[in-house]
C-alpha cells in the first residue's frame, strides 16, 4: 500500500493541532484552578469552617465596605464576627463550629437582632481577615 507524502503531512499536522489544542485546554483548566483556589490571606489560624466562610466571601465581588472578619475572645471562648456589606444589614457572630450565635449589631436601627448572650468581661478583638481587593 502506497501512502502519499502529502497525506502523511496532513495527518501529522492534524495530530500536531490536536496536541496543541489539548495542551491549551489543560493549561487553561490548571490556570483557572490556581486562580479560583487562591487561599485567603489570614492573619491567624481559624477553624476550617470559618476559613471556608471567608473563602466564600473572597470568591464573590468585593463588598462595600470591604468585608472583615474579627475573632472575639471572651470568657475563654472564641467567636468570629463577620461584617456585612452596606446599609441596614446585620453583622453576624459565629462560634468555633460555625453555628450562628447572633447579630451583635447592624440592621435597620443598628442594634443587631437582640439574641446575643451577655458577655462577662472584656471582649478581645483580633482582626483575622480583611478583603483588600479594590
Q: What is the pLDDT of residues 66-92, one digit of tens each?
A: 999 999 999 999 999 999 998 899 999
pLDDT in tens, 88-104: 999 999 999 999 999 99
Q: Note whether 103 and 70 are same-domain residues.
A: yes
Looking at the fold, whether 20 and 69 belong to one and the same domain comes out as: no
* Same-domain pairing of 61 and 12: no
Q: Write out pLDDT tens, residues 37-57.
A: 555 689 899 999 999 999 999
Instruction: Say yes or no: 17 and 76 in one domain.
Output: no
Rounded-to-integer distance, Cα 67 and Cα 34, Å: 23
pLDDT digits (tens, 9 = 90+) for 8-29: 666 666 677 677 777 657 656 6
Closest CA to 89 of 70, 108, 104, 102: 108
Give yes or no: residues 5 and 67 share one domain: no
Residue with cell 476559613: 51
Please check whether residues 22 and 60 belong to one and the same domain.
Answer: no
Asked whether residue 57 falls in the same domain as residue 13, the answer is no
Domain that holds residue 87: 48-130
Q: Per the domain annotation, does 43 fall within a domain?
A: no
Instruction: Specify which residues 74 forms β-bridges with.
Output: 77
Tell me how many domains the chain contains: 2
CB 57 within 8 A of CB 67: yes
What is the rounded CA–CA span in Å between residue 82 and residue 87? Answer: 15
Torsion of CA 57, 58, 60, 65, to 10 degrees: 70
63, 111: one domain? yes
DSSP 67: P
| 58 and 113 belong to one structural domain | yes
Note whether 105 and 112 are within 8 A (CB): yes
Cα(119)–Cα(18) distance, rounded to whole angstroms?
A: 65
Asked if the structure places residue 116 within a domain, the reply is yes
124 and 84 inside one domain: yes
Q: In terms of Cα–Cα distance, which of 86, 77, 76 is closest to 108?
A: 86
- 53 in any annotated domain: yes
54 and 95 belong to one structural domain: yes
Amino acid at each position: 500500500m502506497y501512502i502519499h507524502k502529502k497525506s502523511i503531512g496532513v495527518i501529522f499536522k492534524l495530530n500536531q493541532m490536536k496536541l496543541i489544542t489539548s495542551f491549551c485546554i489543560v493549561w487553561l483548566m490548571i490556570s483557572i484552578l490556581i486562580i479560583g483556589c487562591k487561599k485567603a490571606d489570614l492573619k491567624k489560624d481559624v477553624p476550617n469552617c470559618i476559613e471556608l466562610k471567608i473563602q466564600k466571601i473572597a470568591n464573590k465581588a468585593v463588598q462595600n465596605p470591604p468585608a472583615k472578619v474579627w475573632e472575639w475572645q471572651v470568657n475563654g471562648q472564641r467567636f468570629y464576627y463577620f461584617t456585612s456589606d452596606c446599609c441596614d444589614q446585620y453583622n453576624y457572630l459565629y462560634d468555633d463550629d460555625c453555628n450562628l450565635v447572633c447579630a451583635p449589631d447592624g440592621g435597620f436601627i443598628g442594634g443587631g437582632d437582640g439574641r446575643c448572650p451577655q458577655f462577662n468581661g472584656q471582649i478581645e478583638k483580633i482582626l483575622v481577615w480583611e478583603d483588600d481587593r479594590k
